[in-house]
Chain A
């Protein structure tokens, strides 16, 4: 009799596996509460937005028509644009090259724990700051100019590609690796024949995405002195030459679009 009273009836005991955890529900509730609270203190309201819209309209009005006609400004703009392009390409190339080994080192299924943690630490460090903060640091360290911008974007590229690359490696099929290991292959041959084929496509995807992203970021590092068209853009803003600002913005948009098309072509070739 005592045994019977101890075992609960089957309907109570069975876990139907449908209930979500109360912790997750609590989390959603907390998030909702915080959004409401943040909205209430940030002065984020319709009246302010309408006032802002009027300003924006005036700014837009002074931007048009964009100023492409002055030869000296045009030259300035294209020089900046070219430098931005160079910053982006160089930073991507170096960043990708460094990310390959770093990503492998950070993959926990291939490396001993202590090594992957060190590699993860480096990657985490690269990811901790927004590129603009890294760019400011490098401008202070190595002076104004493209070098600072390149270094900043290399750091950003490593933070992005190496992390995703390591994650891609951690998701590979170890059966294929095991079979290649069973042939007596050494570590590097195993890497080349069993690991890389499984992650190649994704790696190229990450790399072209980062090239895209570096193209955009390369126009930004100039604002803090890291070289490229960002410097020209900021100077134009400072002098209230909004029509020239507009010309620069349109050119940047064109460059990004061309970059996007090129990286899509690149992906089509490799995937």
Chain B
């Protein structure tokens, strides 16, 4: 289960799980230290700098296993969001690789990049719903990567997609809300729509960028429960950025602590101790 276990002979990317993805760039040479077998996502030396010479993310390497909930904690401005956004390439990394289903996402462009994004669902801090569209339209926008323009223009979505969207709305607890406009919903309801939209993609990986930071404590727990439960049912790994350490402890199988663009803690929640938190956030007064 470690990278050293398979030296060099990783040239069989088609054997990876999840055969749904067409492997357009499978021929691209893989770095010698290939992804760990059984890991859904493998980051290697990922570096992102918005301003040249001042990287926000400084050579982060991570292996994410299937079916796990990973919480990334750390102070504001430490590169948590950048890390998540680099995975689905809303942010372009300066160097390093992101291996996902036999492809290096860091090198994808155009059509291949969009195809890869279709497999990765994302939930946002401020929900990022299209406010003036209906709840149904927002959920269905999870299918936009796979539908031709004329269907989207005419709102002629396949019946199968529409009934799946209804199912998803049931599952996130918004049955009966399909025809409402997104801007008529409360924060918690909007985030549920955001989750349904991400699941509508039928993703192989779920990313959530501070999904509970704009919500009250009770709703935060409900949203985390919903996300971990739905991701667990589908066997999809879930990577969540968050500020609330208690929520991370409660829901994650693994916690990654970041500070100053580096990973400074990586382990199961029960091994996260005060001195780690001190290292991640600095200061001590807030811990008591």
Q: With A181-B90, A182-B122, A184-B118 known to touch, is A197 a contact of B130 (CB < 8 Å)?
A: yes
Contact with A along B133-144 (1 / 0, CB 8 A): 100010001111
Contact B137 A193 (CB under 8 A): yes
Chain B nearest CB: distance from A112 CB in Å?
15
Task: Give A193 to B137 CA distance when docked, in angstroms.
Answer: 8
Q: List 18 A-B contacts (CB under 8 A).
A: A175-B126, A176-B128, A176-B131, A178-B90, A179-B124, A179-B130, A181-B90, A183-B118, A183-B121, A183-B141, A183-B143, A184-B114, A186-B144, A189-B147, A193-B130, A197-B130, A200-B132, A201-B132
> Residues of B with Cβ closer than 8 Å to A?
88, 90, 114-122, 124, 126, 128-133, 137, 141-147, 149, 152-153, 194, 197, 201
For residue A198, CB closer than 8 A to chain B, the reply is: yes
Which A residues from 103 to 141 make CB contacts under 8 A with B?
A: none
Q: With A182-B117, A184-B116 known to touch, is A194 a contact of B130 (CB < 8 Å)?
A: yes
Contact B114 A176 (CB under 8 A): no
Q: With A192-B152, A193-B152 known to touch, is A184 a contact of B130 (CB < 8 Å)?
A: no
Residues of B near A184 (CB, < 8 A) are: 114-119, 144-146, 201
Residues of A near B144 (CB, < 8 A) are: 180, 183-186, 189-190, 193
Q: With A184-B115, A184-B118, A184-B144 known to touch, is A179 a contact of B129 (CB < 8 Å)?
A: yes
Chain A nearest CB: distance from B172 CB in Å?
16
Task: Give A246 to B160 CA distance when docked, in angstroms.
Answer: 65
CB nearest to B154 among chain A residues: A192
Most buried by B among A179, A188, A197, A201: A179
Chain B nearest CB: distance from A179 CB in Å?
4
Contact B128 A175 (CB under 8 A): yes
Task: Give A192 to B130 CA distance when docked, in angstroms.
Answer: 11
Residues of B near A183 (CB, < 8 A) are: 117-118, 121-122, 141-145, 197, 201
Chain B nearest CB: distance from A183 CB in Å?
5
Which A residues from 150 to 185 make CB contacts under 8 A with B?
A: 173, 175-176, 178-185
Residues of A near B88 (CB, < 8 A) are: 182
Contact B130 A180 (CB under 8 A): yes
Contact of B153 among A179, A192, A194, A197 (CB under 8 A): A192
CB nearest to B133 among chain A residues: A197
6 A-B pairs with least C-beta separation: A184-B145, A185-B144, A184-B118, A179-B128, A184-B117, A189-B144
Residues of A near B146 (CB, < 8 A) are: 184
Task: Give A134 to B273 CA distance when docked, in angstroms.
Answer: 76
CB nearest to B110 among chain A residues: A186
Residues of A near B122 (CB, < 8 A) are: 179, 182-183
Residues of B near A179 (CB, < 8 A) are: 122, 124, 128-130, 141, 194, 197
CB nearest to B130 among chain A residues: A176
Residues of A near B133 (CB, < 8 A) are: 193, 197
Task: Give A184 to B201 CA distance when docked, in angstroms.
Answer: 9
Task: Give A248 to B147 CA distance when docked, in angstroms.
Answer: 55
Contact A185 B128 (CB under 8 A): no
Residues of B near A200 (CB, < 8 A) are: 132
Given contacts A183-B201, A198-B132, 7 further A-B contacts (CB under 8 A): A179-B124, A180-B141, A183-B118, A184-B145, A192-B153, A193-B141, A200-B132
Residues of B near A182 (CB, < 8 A) are: 88, 90, 117, 120, 122
Task: Give A1 to B149 CA distance when docked, in angstroms.
Answer: 72
Residues of A near B130 (CB, < 8 A) are: 176, 179-180, 193-194, 197-198
Chain A nearest CB: distance from B147 CB in Å?
7
Residues of A near B152 (CB, < 8 A) are: 188-189, 192-193
Residues of A near B141 (CB, < 8 A) are: 179-180, 183, 185, 193-194
Residues of B near A192 (CB, < 8 A) are: 149, 152-153
Contact A189 B149 (CB under 8 A): yes
Contact B129 A176 (CB under 8 A): yes
Contact A197 B201 (CB under 8 A): no
Residues of A near B120 (CB, < 8 A) are: 182
Task: Give A192 to B133 CA distance when docked, in angstroms.
Answer: 11
Chain A nearest CB: distance from B100 CB in Å?
13
Chain A nearest CB: distance from B159 CB in Å?
19
Task: Give A236 to B144 CA distance when docked, in angstroms.
Answer: 60
Residues of B near A198 (CB, < 8 A) are: 130-132
Contact with B along A186-216 (1 / 0, CB 8 A): 1011101110011011000000000000000
Task: Give A178 to B129 CA distance when docked, in angstroms.
Answer: 10
Task: Give A180 to B145 CA distance when docked, in angstroms.
Answer: 9
Residues of B near A175 (CB, < 8 A) are: 124, 126, 128
Chain A nearest CB: distance from B144 CB in Å?
4
Residues of B near A197 (CB, < 8 A) are: 130-133
Task: Give A190 to B250 CA distance when docked, in angstroms.
Answer: 36
